[in-house]
Each structure stands twice: as C-alpha cells, then as structure tokens.
Amino acid sequence: MMIMTNKQNPAPQRFLTGITTTGTPHLGNYVGSIRPSVAASTGASAESFYFLADYHALIKCDEPARIQQSTLEIAASWLAAGLDPERVTFYRQSDIPEIPELTWLLTCVTAKGVLNRAHAYKASVDKNTAAGNDPDADVSAGLFMYPVLMGADILMFKAHQVPVGRDQIQHIEMARDMGQRFNHLYGEHFVLPQALIEESVALLPGLDGRKMSKSYDNTIPLFTPREQLRKLIAGIVTDSRAPGEAKDTEGSALFQIYQAFASAQETAALRQAFANGIAWGDAKQTLFERIDQEVAPMRARYQELMQDPAKIEAILLAGADKARRLATPFMRELRQAVGLRQLAAATVPATKSKAVKTGLPVFKQYRETDGRFHFKLLDAQGGLLLQSDGFDSPRDAGKAIALLQAEGAAALTALRPKLQPVPGVSDEAITAALQGLADNAS
C-alpha cells in the first residue's frame, strides 16, 4: 500500500457559511456572498455547507412572520442562483437540534471575559455607556452568546474555511479558541477553522453610494421585478454633470456596480463612454440592461420557487437529514468526551463479588447446614441487603425471590415473617436495589 503525505493527497477542504434570516437578499449579498459561494461549491475538491441561520435571526428580530418570509426568500435565492443541494449540504440551522446542544458544551469552555469583548456586544455596551445608560440596557443574553452559537455552527461540521465578511473575523477566531480549549480539555475532537476573506470581491455600493446594506436602506433587492429594477437604478446618486461632459469613474457608485457584473471588456467600454461624456440616463440604462441580463433567468427560477414553498421545505429537510448524519454521531462522541455518559458502562471499583462486575445487585440462593434453603440479596458492592429464613425447598425460596423481582418493595410486607432483620439497612436501600434490578431487566 502506498502511503501518501498530506501534500500529495490533501484532505478535501470543507467550507461552511451561514446567512442570518432577517432580510430580503439584495445585489450586495449576491455579489459578495451568493455568487462566489455558488461558484466555489461547484469546485471539484470542495465540500460545502450552507445554512440559514434562523437561530441567529432571533437575536435581532422578534417578528415571526419576517423570519419565516426571510428564510423562504433566502433559500429560494440561493437555489435560484444555482446552488445544487445534491452537491452541497444546504440546511436550516433550527432543523439541527445538535447545534443548541453543542452551544451549551461550548458555553462551558468559553470565558465570559472573551464574550465581553465580542464586537457586537461591546458596541451595544459602548453605546449605552456613552448615553449614560446601564451598560447592558436592552442587551439580550442572546446577543452576548451570539459568538458561541456561531462557534457551534462551525465546529459541528469540522469546517476548515469559513467565507465571511470582515465584520465576522473575530467570531471565527473565537470559534477557533473554543475548539482549541475543548480539544485541550477533552481530546482532539474539533477542526480549528479559518476565516476566508475574498479579497477580490468588492463591496458593492448602494443607491446612495455608501456600502449596500439593509441598515442604510439603500439596497436593490436581487429579484425585484424588471420594471422595479429599472426604477431603482434610475435612483442611484450621480453628480450633476450634463450629457457631453466627461464623467469620473472614480467614486461613481454606478460604475462600481457595473463593474461587479460586467466583463473586463464591457467595463473598459463603459470607462470610455464616461470619458466621452455619456449622459447619466444612458449610463443607467446600460447598467440596468447588464444586471437584468444576469438576473433575469434566475429571477424566473426564483419566482417559480416562491410559488412552491413546500418544495423548498422538502429541500431543506433533506439537507438537514444529510447534515444530521454527521451531527448526530459527532454529538454522541462529544457527550461521551465530556462525561455525559450511560451509567451501565461505568467502571466500578473491582472486588471479588460477581455482582460487582456487572454493577448490579444480585440474589443468592444457598442451602444451610441444617438442610434448609435460604437466599440473600447483595448490593452492587457485595453488601448484605436482605437475609431470608430457611425454606423447605429450593422452589419455595425461588418463589420468594420471584415475588421480590416482580413486585419489588411491595412484596416486602408479605415476606417480612420469612426475613431476618439486617442491621443498618433501610427499606429505601432495599427498594432502590430492587428497582435497579427491575430497570436493568426491562
């Protein structure tokens, strides 16, 4: 057999990213996340996980209908943009019960002080402090715990690379730290992830020239109808240069958006048109047609999918199935690692008693020198719990044992005349032992 080194046979890289389900996808999301992710997911050696981070959505949004609608729209957008759920694992976070379970295990290895320094939480605290309010005013524990939930998302699926925006780098580093700490305490279970920042993906400007973002209310929805798209593009801010006057590409939101969709050749042509004094109205028309050309086929698929939410639901559930085939056994392994274990397999200090080996109480039947038949009940450590008087036959002794096994402590009253008192043994101890036997038998 040939042994390959890592270099010759690199393990497939696993990519994972989540999308918080609070909004409607816009062109900025498409250029910055959806398009590059879909392209990467078709790469031969890549293994990709994409999920709808609806637990994260609850941190920011308390409108149930909006979360549902956003989940539907984001799922439909990714599918319409060409994400192939057969090739990738595409699922909804809240369909994976192992995620909140892992969140708790990670919570217990995360220093509170580290979470105090998480950007999103710190920003809220700083704002409150500046306003003279209580530092934690209006801060939910969910916001505080945000990085741990995200750590669980990433560590659960042993992702190597996590494509995210710059604002998320700190969270990936925290996930790394959680993984490292856990591995240190409980053995090597987690892969330590890295943030993947696409340098080449430009930030798309919005209608007002600032970064396109829901919080600036300057977005162009990705699948807005064609006529609406035309109207929105007409609203992009420009300067007041008249037709015939040369235009500046530098700092032009219109030009930057065009560049994100056009080929190098097309971009060069528009640059030339700017220099030649193209009218803003014509430049907007050019941009509109270029975007629509790319978006129109996807828009048709999107609208079709939006008509069929049951189909999207089925796709997500199939994705969750696929994801849980990894998460369920991994969670079992992690529970075992931290000591959340079945007790039947517990190691019990060894003594000579047979009962000790099985860790269970045991009945013993024997014949005394007087020729009569007795039994006793020993606890798991071999200690005496019950001691009978003599019975005439082994059958009679066996019947008494069977009665105790069948009825447990309830049989004690009837049998009392045939039992000898055992000093220091309470009825509770006998009851517990009989219960233990019954549980083991069932």
Instruction: Report the interface residues with ligand TRP, using CB under 6 A.
Output: 16-18, 20, 53, 56, 150, 153-154, 162, 164, 168
Closest of 98, 12, 85 to residue 55, by C-alpha: 98
Q: Which is nearer to ligand TRP, 155 or 334 (CB)?
A: 155
Taking the complex as a whole, the smallest distance from the CB of residue 214 to ligand TRP amounts, in Å, to 11
Question: In sequence order, what are the residues at sequence separation of 6 or more whose Cβ sits closer than 8 angstroms to the Cβ of residue 402?
Answer: none
Taking the complex as a whole, the smallest distance from the CB of residue 97 to ligand TRP amounts, in Å, to 16
Q: Which is nearer to ligand TRP, 119 or 376 (CB)?
A: 119
Taking the complex as a whole, the smallest distance from the CB of residue 434 to ligand TRP amounts, in Å, to 50
CA distance 181 to 110: 8
Task: Assess contact for 26 and 219: CB atoms under 8 A.
Answer: yes
Taking the complex as a whole, the smallest distance from the CB of residue 165 to ligand TRP amounts, in Å, to 6
What b/e string do you get for 394-419 counting C-beta neighbours within 10 Å, with b at 16 or more?
A: eeebeebbeebeeebeebbeebeeeb
Taking the complex as a whole, the smallest distance from the CB of residue 93 to ligand TRP amounts, in Å, to 7
Q: 195 - beta bridge partners?
A: 162
What b/e string do you get for 134-145 counting C-beta neighbours within 10 Å, with b at 16 or more?
A: eeeeebeeebbb
Cβ atoms within 10 Å of 116's Cβ, excluding its own: 11
CA distance 325 to 18: 19
Q: Which is nearer to ligand TRP, 169 or 403 (CB)?
A: 169
Taking the complex as a whole, the smallest distance from the CB of residue 193 to ligand TRP amounts, in Å, to 8
Taking the complex as a whole, the smallest distance from the CB of residue 318 to ligand TRP amounts, in Å, to 21
Question: In sequence order, what are the residues at sequence separation of 6 or more whose Cβ sits closer than 8 angstroms to the Cβ of residue 364?
Answer: 375, 376, 377, 378
Nearest position to ligand TRP, beta carbon: 18
CA distance 197 to 36: 11
CA distance 131 to 44: 52
Q: Which is nearer to ligand TRP, 53 or 404 (CB)?
A: 53
CA distance 226 to 231: 9
Closest of 140, 71, 136, 132 to residue 312, by C-alpha: 71
Q: Which is nearer to ligand TRP, 331 or 380 (CB)?
A: 331
Q: Which is nearer to ligand TRP, 50 or 302 (CB)?
A: 50
Q: Which is nearer to ligand TRP, 60 or 372 (CB)?
A: 60
Taking the complex as a whole, the smallest distance from the CB of residue 154 to ligand TRP amounts, in Å, to 5
Show the tokens assigned to 370: 């007087």
Q: Which is nearer to ligand TRP, 16 or 143 (CB)?
A: 16
